[in-house]
Structure 1
Amino acid sequence: MHMPGLLLGLLIAAPNLTGSLLRIPFGAWVDKVGGKKPFIILLILSLLGMAGLTTILVLYYPQGITLKMYPVIFFFGLLSGSGIATFSVGVPQTSYWFPQKKQGMALGAYGGLGNTAPGLFGIILPFALVGLGLTGSYAAWFIFLLIGTVIYAIFAHDAYYFQLLKQGKTPEEAKKTAQELGQELFPSGQVKEALKISARNPRTWLLVILYFTSFGGFLALTGWFPTYWNQYFGINVTEAGLLMALGFSILASFIRVYGGHLSDKFGGESTAIVSYLIVLIGALILIVTSQFWFALLGEIIIGIGMGTANAAVFKLVPKYVSNAPGGASGWVGGLGAFGGFVVPPLLGIFTDLYGKKGYALGFWVYVVLAVIAILVSFLLKTWSKENLAGTRRH
């Protein structure tokens, strides 16, 4: 399409834009209707986007796609990113199914296994492009997404409370029966109210900061690491994608599952402090080294820290905003994931200023973010201790 760098950057970021901001209203909507309906709507929007992009490729690729088609392609790119927003829907949907003491493991498994997708497709995509071509790869992903949507629509269920409401029970009757069946978390009520309740809680915004660093940072590096390996070390694109997937994305996603267990055992605040300290160490290694193996070690370390921190943050969401976890999930998941849209241009500024060396120096962004996250985690831990001491006095 021969587009300027700015337009290219915006086009690449388009799915992350909708995928982050749509998390806020759709995450809150769960508190009113349960997770299944919002989840399906987001998947359908993403299907429409993928269908549009695939159709454009079938009809016009390669010679017919020009810069004049940019607005249409950008629009379908925005739609395609809607599926990313399902994360903030799935978090409260999962939370409502599990008791408080099992939240960390359940949410760690949900988020960790779900987040393996960028890494897995980072491995698959180079081979798909060779075997199927660009159009065939888009068509294959559209079919895969369609199958996943159908499976979810058939087998997914909302927690007891929402099932009982759909059966005609009053909220009071539904809550009483759901409690008897073992459900512990319940919504506060209306969508706007859930967002307002969670927005008034200052801890919600502290959790946003933490998730901006860990998950927003994760999204940013999933896209940035292939460029880093290719431009800074001269590694070919296919191998650079594999290094990102195996050394960072998949690792961070699987670590997130175990991070949920650690959060249950040691507490979300303590786990977060250690996790962001690990992110800090990984970033410092990436800044100072120009040796491949040390850089790979830095990538692995920062991935371990981010994966564990992601689990710790969502262990804390139902703890600190127990009366509106869906609303809080929307703010935290949406604005936190917005880091995936904000951070890459910051990393790019370092390459503009310092050339090739900027690919290493850009990780100062993560040093600053990690330090802020550590301080915020300490603040939350202090609040937690004060609340516990107050409860004991009373």
Structure 2
Amino acid sequence: MARARTSEWLESWDPESESWDSRMAWKTLWVTTFCLTLAFATWFLPSAFIPQLNSLGYDFTTAQLYWMAAMPGLSGGLLRILWTFLPPIMGTRRMVTYSTLLMIFATIGWGVRVQAPTAPYWELMVLAFLAGIGGGVFSGFMPSTSYFFPRRKQGLALGLQAGFGNFGVSLVQMLTPLLIGVGFLGFLGSSQTWTSGDEVREVWYQNAAFIWLPLLVVGAILAWTMLKSVPVKANFKQQLDIFRNQDTWWQTILYIMTFGTFSGLSAQFGLLMQDLYGRMNPEIYDLATNTVLVEGFDLRNPINFVFLGPLVGAGSRIIFAQLTDRMGGAIWTLVAGIGIGASIVFTMTGLTPDVTSAATLDAGFNRFLFGMLAIFFFTGIGNASTFKQMPMIFERRQAGGVIGWTAAIGAFGPFLFGIGITTIGPVGFYAVGVAWAVLCVVITWVRYARPGAPKPG
């Protein structure tokens, strides 16, 4: 049993022993998971706002909007590299508390600047970058939680934490359309006029940002008063030994396929839908005259759909976490790779809208939507299975570092997807996704899943 050396640091901690304090471990899991859910909500707050900025009076180009939506992914990936090395240095308590407080800055910024279409582009890009703090903390929270659990339970524990954390994406995208329609937080700012074609509405977009502020404060208080820190000590230089292990790089490639796809699609889903089946497609909608060019077709408003993808992905991550503990992670990573590749191929049939009629557009949209949801589903499986594999492949301290590192690279998903879709187009970029999935299936089979594999797990 661990004994407290100070109010923060445990004197010793061995989750593999019979005296493992499961109560402390689960308390740590739920407190950090609450804060991680808020972190994902902060990270993806811009994704709920950006597709609507022009309807609020801004006049940004499609490329500018894609770049803005990509910025939290860039900062999230860069900051995850930093947070990867913090758990052994700062400890769980201080890292979770301070990280949660840092997220307040971006949340306030978006709540203030969304109220009037006067913010310059560079300022919104800075706010999008700051939102990436919510993505960066993942690479500190997950490894520090893994220290508290025995290997036999790490698939379930990390799957629950990451899965419920991922729900923060759906929460912010699902609650935003509900919160902006009421003035109960109107005393925190003035209302805005939202315009799309002939539809004009009074909205309070600041509500969707300010609602998270008291929860962030509560999360920081819970972290400071309830968490302890495990004495897993290593300086920055000592932690670099993970890069001499080839499995660090194989797992990084696999996690780009799983979480990179999940985060990338979560950030770009709304803009892509707007671009293909909404008011940003000039073959469907004439901005100059505010008219739909295809008779009988109802423009798709992303605000009604975008939360579904992250919801499906987070749900499958939680459901399959326990199965990875029972069956091992490698087999499910293989299933995820095959499923992602097949789902991308199916989705590609909906990336070129047929504007012949409303019926053909509706059919194309359905293929696009259900294909995207299938991709999200299989990314959730892969996110759970890879996080089961890493603690089995690496020793405890290294496993924490590899989890943080792979998560850091996977967090570049929103940035890579935004740049890829902008430069080579949706069809070309999705074709790259198919090739990547095939590569990952081969790696998983040869290295981890086949009979007699070098690193089964």
Same-fold call, TM cutoff 0.5: yes
1:138 aligned residue (209, 228, 231): 209
Call closer, same or farther: CA 1:233–1:386 in 2, change over 3 Å: closer
Deviations 1:75-132 (A, max 9, x none): 3432232122221112112211111111111111110111011112211112222224
CA distance in 1 between counterparts of 2:273 and 2:413 reads 21
How much has 1:66 moved relative to structure 2? 4.1
Q: Which consecutive residues of structure 2, in runs of 5 or more, have no partner in the other structure?
A: 1-57, 184-203, 279-297, 351-362
1:258 match: 319
State yes or no: 1:192 paired with 2:254.
no
Residue 373 of structure 1, aligned match among 421, 440, 448: 440
Query: Equivalent residue for 2:165?
Result: 114
Map of 2:393 onto structure 1 = 320
Deviations along 1:249-272, whole A, 9 cap, x unmatched?
Answer: 111101101222222122211110
For residues 160-213 of structure 1, give each alpha carbon's deviation from its aligned partner in whole angstroms, at most 9, with x where no partner exists: x43xxxxxxxxxxxxxxxxxxxxxxxx46223311x111111111111111111
Q: Provide the residue aligned with 1:181 in structure 2.
A: none
Corresponding residue of 1:169? none
CA contact (8 A) 1:38 1:89 kept: yes
Alignment of 1:95-174 (within 5 A): 95-132=146-183, 133-158=204-229, 161-162=230-231
- State the aligned residue count: 347
Q: 1:208 to 1:388 in 2, by over 3 A?
A: closer
Contact 2:169 2:266 in 1 (8 A): yes
Q: 1:137 to 1:269 in 2, by over 3 A?
A: same
Do the aligned partners of residues 224 and 56 (structure 1) sit closer, same or farther apart at CA in structure 2, a change above 3 Å counting? closer
More displaced stretch, 287-296 vs 80-89: 287-296
Q: C-alpha separation between the residues in 2 aligned to 1:115 and 1:268?
A: 19
- SS of residue matched to 2:305: helix
Structure 1-normalised TM-score? Answer: 0.79
SS at the partner of 1:385? coil
Q: CA deviation at 1:361?
A: 5.7
One-letter code aligned to 1:295 = F
1:335 matched to 2:409: yes
Q: Is the 8 A contact 1:45 1:80 kept in 2?
A: no
Alignment of 1:167-246 (within 5 A): 187=232, 189-194=234-239, 196-234=240-278, 236=299, 238=301, 240-246=302-308
2:142 to 83, 91, 107: 91
Say whether the 8 Å CA contact 1:42–1:85 is kept in structure 2: no
The residue type paired with residue 337 of structure 1 is A
Q: CA deviation at 1:34?
A: 2.4
Q: Relative to 1, partners in 2 of residues 1:75 and 1:281: Cα closer, same or farther, differing over 3 Å?
A: same
Task: Evaluate the alpha carbon distance shift between residue 372 and residue 341 of structure 1 in structure 2; reply closer, same or farther with a 3 A threshold.
Answer: same
Structure 2 equivalent of residue 286 of structure 1: 347
- The verdict on how the C-alpha distance between 1:193 and 1:6 changes in structure 2, with shifts beyond 3 A counting, is farther
- 1:363 maps to 430
Q: Aligned residue for 2:378?
A: 305
**2:447 touches 2:453 (CA, 8 Å); kept in 1?**
no
CA contact (8 A) 1:287 1:362 kept: no
- Is 1:18 equivalent to 2:90 in the alignment? no
Structure 2 vs 1, CA of residues 366 and 343 (structure 1 numbering), >3 Å: closer, same or farther?
same
Aligned ranges for residues 17-56 of structure 1 at < 5 Å? 17-56=74-113
Residue aligning to 1:75: 126
1:268 aligned to which of 329, 339, 354: 329
TM-fit CA distance, 1:346:
1.1
Q: Which consecutive unaligned segments of at least 5 residues does structure 1 have?
A: 163-186, 352-358, 390-394
Looking at structure 1, the residues matched to 299 and 260 of structure 2 have their Cα atoms a distance apart, in angstroms, of 26
Secondary structure of the structure 2 residue equivalent to 1:115:
helix
What displacement does 1:350 show? 4.3
Q: Is the 8 A contact 1:112 1:253 kept in 2?
A: yes
CA RMSD between the two structures: 2.6
Provide closer, same or farther for how the CA distance between residues 41 and 385 of structure 1 changes in structure 2, counting only shifts above 3 A.
Answer: farther
Give the letter aligned to residue 113 of structure 1: F
Q: Which amino acid aligns with 2:210?
A: A
| Offset of residue 56 of structure 1 | 4.3
Q: Is the 8 A contact 2:448 2:454 kept in 1?
A: no
Percent identity between the two aligned chains: 24
The question of whether the paired residues in 2 share the 8 Å contact of 1:47 and 1:80 is answered with: no
- CA shift for structure 1 position 33: 3.4
> Matched residues in 1 for 2:374 and 2:70: separation?
26
CA distance in 2, matches of 1:72, 1:287: 35
Q: Partners of 1:138 and 1:326 in 2: how far apart?
A: 32
SS in 2 for 1:244: coil
Residues 31 and 324, structure 1, Cα contact 8 Å, conserved in 2:
no
What amino acid sits opposite 2:303 in the alignment? G
Cα distance in 2 for residues equivalent to 1:204 and 1:127: 42
Partner residue of 1:62?
116
Please report the TM-score for the alignment, with normalisation by the length of structure 2: 0.69
The match for 1:9 is 66
| Corresponding residue SS for 1:116 | helix
Is the 1:19–1:81 contact (alpha carbons within 8 Å) kept by the matching residues of 2? Answer: yes
